[in-house]
Structure formats: structure tokens, C-alpha cells
Amino acid sequence: MTAKTAMTAKTIKTTKKIIVGYDRSADAKAAAVWALGQAARTGALVEFFFAYEWPSWAPASRTIGAAPVWPGGETDRAVNGMLDEAVANARQTHPGVRTKISIERAGAAGTLIERSAEASLIVLGSRGHDDMTGVFGSVSIAVSAQARCPVVVVRGEAPAGAPVVVGVDGSAPARSALHFATELAAARSVPLRVHEAVDRPTTELAVAGETAQMLVVGTRGRGALRGMLLGSVSQHLLRHSSCTVAVVPASS
């Protein structure tokens, strides 16, 4: 493959599809706005995604599990209506962005991890409503650790022109994070700050994020758990950063 062909292939990948978790909460709406803005810059399709699991039910006298009992049409219509509303709003605010909806009757984390293989980016709000709180709270940790594409967790409103800050340590995940951050900052015409934190990386990056529009970090596994755990720095920033955080896998 020539350098030109490789670049073309990479461009196709980066403009393929952005999956945004949506549940009508304020944080999910902020995630949708961010995803639509990114799609407008890259030409990506935005897929509004919702997943839910319905509890199984079985009589007490039974000794084997019953098949799952799924909700009636009213619930399905409500979920479809919510996502249709999001698409309608997107067409008003970002008429040039292609959109679609996706509903999965399955666990959100596992589904998003699986779907990450076909996405260029997954975007989540930092919190959500009711059952979706886990999707955009603790589940964002699991998705960020195992996704095959970058995962952006949107939080707060960035000042106009605020920089993108990327944490580096010379590792393969950090190099991928640097590449992602460079492209993002260039697309938004904002400064890029490369931060090599040695002594107290968590604290130093958190402070740097106070004036940034985004912190970008890589994933870090340990031994047999490689790919299953986030590094302590990434995990802390996802939970406590005051700005949006992007977690980038080494393979992206």
C-alpha cells in the first residue's frame, strides 16, 4: 500500500460514522451537539444510539430461566419517538449532516464495544437519565477501555478557542492519542498542547483541563488484562475532569 493509499484509507475511516449515545438527558444532548459539530467538520454520518435490557420473568415454581419478556409496543414507540426527535433537531441545526437511529435490546456497554469496530468515534454524555445513567456513567469507563475506536465523553462547555490538551508518555496508546488530538485541534483551528506529565500525571492533566476544551489520553492495560482496564490516569480523568475527555486506543 502506498503512502497516498494509506492516507486515503485512513481518511475514509475517520469520516465513516460517529455513534452518539442518546437518552434526552441534558448531558446526552450536549454529546449530540458535539457529535454533530464533529460530523459537520469531517463528513461523518451520526448514528443516534439507544440500548436497553428488559428484565426476565419466570414463575417462582420454575427451576429454569424463562425467556426474556420484552416491553410492549408503547415502550418501543416511545424510544423511537425520542430518537426521531433527536434526528429532527439535528436536521434543523446541522442540515448538512447525515443521521440515522439505532435501537438495541441488549446491554449498552457490550453493544457499543462491539459496534466500535465499525465506527470512527463513539460519543457519550457524562451522565444520563434513569437506566441510562449506567450507560453514560460507569459504562463509559468500560466502553473507553475496550472500544476499537476513540471514545469521547462530553462534559461542560468549552470556552471559544480553548486548546486541546493531550497527555503523552512515549507509549503506543499515547502516540495514537497525539495523532487524534493533532487532527482534532487542526479541524477546529485551536491550539494543541502536548503535556508530558511525569511526577503527578493525574493532577497535572486535570489542572491543564481546566482551561481546555478537551483532554486526550490513551488506554493502558496491564498484563493479562491488557485492553480490559483503563490506566489510572485515564479513569480518573473520565470521572473527574471538568472538560470533555477523549480516550484513544493504540490501534485507532
pLDDT of 14 higher than 70: no
pLDDT band for position 237 (cuts 50, 70, 90): confident
For domain 157-252, which CATH number applies: 3.30.413.10, 3.40.50.620, 3.10.20.30, 2.30.130.10? 3.40.50.620
pLDDT of 19 reads 98
pLDDT band for position 200 (cuts 50, 70, 90): confident
pLDDT of 55 reads 59
Domain boundaries, the chain: 11-56+69-154, 157-252
**Residue 243 near residue 155, CB atoms below 8 Å:** yes
Cα(8)–Cα(22) distance, rounded to whole angstroms?
31
11-56+69-154 matches 157-252 in fold:
yes
Q: Which residue has the higher pLDDT, 208 or 20?
A: 20
pLDDT of 75 reads 74
**CA angle, 117 as apex, 111 and 118 as ends, to 5°?**
95
pLDDT of 11 higher than 80: no
pLDDT band for position 116 (cuts 50, 70, 90): very high
Q: Which amino acid is at 75?
A: T
Query: Would the pTM count as exceeding 0.85?
Result: no
- Helix, strand or coil, per DSSP, at residue 124: strand
- Closest by CA to 137, choosing from 235, 32, 211, 217, is 235
**Residue 243 near residue 156, CB atoms below 8 Å:** yes
Q: Which residue has the higher pLDDT, 5 or 200?
A: 200
Cα(133)–Cα(119) distance, rounded to whole angstroms?
23
Q: Which residue has the higher pLDDT, 174 or 227?
A: 174
pLDDT band for position 248 (cuts 50, 70, 90): very high
Lowest mean pLDDT of 18-22, 151-155, 196-200, name the range: 196-200
**Which residues fall within 8 angstroms of residue 238, CB to CB, at 6 or more apart?**
140, 141, 144, 153, 230, 245, 247
pLDDT of 228 higher than 50: no
pLDDT band for position 112 (cuts 50, 70, 90): very high
Q: How many helices (H) and strands (E) does the chain have?
A: 8, 9
pLDDT of 171 reads 79
For domain 11-56+69-154, which CATH number applies: 3.30.43.10, 3.40.50.300, 3.10.450.40, 3.40.50.620? 3.40.50.620
